[in-house]
Amino acid sequence: MKYLNQVITVTRWEYRRFFKPKNELLGLSIMLLVSIVSYFGGKYAFSGSSEKSDLIVSQNLDCKLTERLLIDFKLHEVPAEQKSTIIETISNEKKGILLFNNGNVFTIHAYKDSKVLKNLRTILDEYQRLQKMQDIELSQADLDNILSPPTIIESFVYSKNSQRRVLLTYFFAGLMIMAVLLSFAYQFTAITGEKQLKITEQIVSAISPQVWMDGKIFGITLTGISSMFTYSLLGIIGGILFFQFTGAPVSTIINYLHLPSILLFLPFALTGILIWNALLAAIASIITDPNNSGKSSLMMLPLVFVIASFTVTRDPDSALSVFLSWFPFTSATAMPMRWAITEVEIWKLAGSFFVLIVTFYLLRILAAKIFRVSILISGKEPSWNQIFKLMKES
């Protein structure tokens, strides 16, 4: 009971030390304001995109092509004699588009390439295709019949609507990466700062290194998770704005919030964050000067392993995917991804989660041992060989 009370005390101290509700609220408000400004700014920026662009065409243009161009352009017909004058005007004013045709050859004159020209080329391609179809007396119905795909009736014993669940898994994986990277920053600030100020030796004289390390892992993990929930709320608000921007109803985002998936992803993500915090806390314990340490680059390890787990989506039943869903440094994201795409038995989910729990239990013990040895070393930053040698001797 004494151990639990001490761990809770350290956890609460670390959490209150780094998690500032006012700062989180301020950051959330700023990001929300930026999202709203981006939303309305985007609507304003694209509000004029529906206006038709001016297009100068020759008077001898085919009437069918003219009718099609009128849908997207404001046409200005000019005689062929004015061609050179208009080209010179386009060059001088640096704007305008001129379309001339000579039989089956179309000539476009413009100051520079643009999105409008891409649309114009598409229209000319459609017109040319229709002309070729008329030459060989092929109707649109005949062409559609030729290009129509075969009728396929599929029947699966097991099926799952996985697309939205996979997107939800990516969302949780992104939040987990964010929580781990934030936690690692706090780990470096806390552990290396305390070592430089010689505070650690005084604290571990009152409580055991295991209690101190467990409290740091839990407290900083709680800080990262709090930030994770803050940004998930922001993500939901951003998603609502996105659906509004695309014209889809707000209720669309509810279709992505699959409750069984969330109940599965949360414990896996939480345990994954704990594992990485235990490992990164051990790394931070060895670092004497974070400004000159080569071990600081190890903070990218979580990102590498999480990205590697995304390969599960390519073939969820391959041997590599099965391995990644059991390997503790990737299974926190790989196993929920496999479950979202393919059939995974309950015992495999439970077994993978059990491996995560055992891995965290062992890593927290290893982190405490490394921490206990590292505080006894002063001067030059120790290597991993020196650390493990001292652990065996102690």
Q: Which domains does the chain have, with CATH numbers?
A: 51-147 (3.40.190), 160-393 (no CATH)
> 150-190: per-residue pLDDT in tens?
777 766 555 565 666 777 777 777 777 777 777 777 777 76
Decide if 216 contacts 208 (C-beta within 8 A): no
Q: Where are the beta strands (DSSP E) in 19-138?
A: 53-58, 73-78, 97-102, 105-110
Query: What is the total residue count of the chain?
Result: 394
Determine the pLDDT at residue 24: 66
Task: Return the top range by mean pLDDT from 147-156, 231-240, 273-282.
Answer: 273-282
- DSSP E strand boundaries for the chain: 53-58, 73-78, 97-102, 105-110
Burial (0-12, 13-18, 19+ Cβ within 10 Å), 179: buried
Q: What is the mean pLDDT of residues 252-257?
A: 64
206 near 251, Cβ under 8 Å?
no
What is the C-alpha to C-alpha distance for residues 79 and 100, in angstroms, rounded to an integer?
A: 10
pLDDT of residue 360: 93
pLDDT tier, 381 (very low <50, low <70, confident <90, very high otherwise): low
Percent of the chain at pLDDT exceeding 70: 72
Return the amino acid letter for 134: Q
Lowest mean pLDDT of 30-34, 224-228, 297-301, name the range.
Answer: 297-301
The whole-chain average pLDDT of the chain stands at 76
Q: What gap in Å lies between CA 103 and CA 155, rounded to an integer?
A: 53
pLDDT at 259 over 60: yes
Could you tell me which residue, 355 or 219, shows the higher pLDDT? 355
Higher pLDDT, 140 or 48: 140
Is 42 strand, coil or helix? helix
pLDDT in tens, 306-321: 777 778 878 888 888 8
| Phi and psi torsions of 79, nearest 5° | -70, 160
Q: How far apart are CA 183 and CA 279, in angstroms?
A: 11
pTM of the model: 0.67
Radius of gyration, CA atoms only, the chain:
31
pLDDT at residue number 393: 56
| Residues whose CB falls within 8 Å of the CB of residue 142, separated by 6 or more in sequence, listed in order | none
62: left (phi over 0), alpha (psi -120 to 50) or beta: beta
Place of tokens 């979202």: 340
pLDDT digits (tens, 9 = 90+) for 318-365: 888 889 889 998 888 888 888 878 888 899 999 999 999 999 999 988
Least confident window among 226-235, 362-371, 376-385: 376-385
Backbone φ and ψ of 179, nearest 5°: -65, -40
247: three-class secondary structure by DSSP: coil
Rounded mean pLDDT of 84-106? 81
pLDDT at site 51: 72
pLDDT greater at residue 286 or residue 362: 362
Q: At how many degrees (to 10) do helices 331-341 and 346-374 cross?
A: 170
Q: Which of 306, 209, 245 is nearest to 47 (CA)?
A: 245
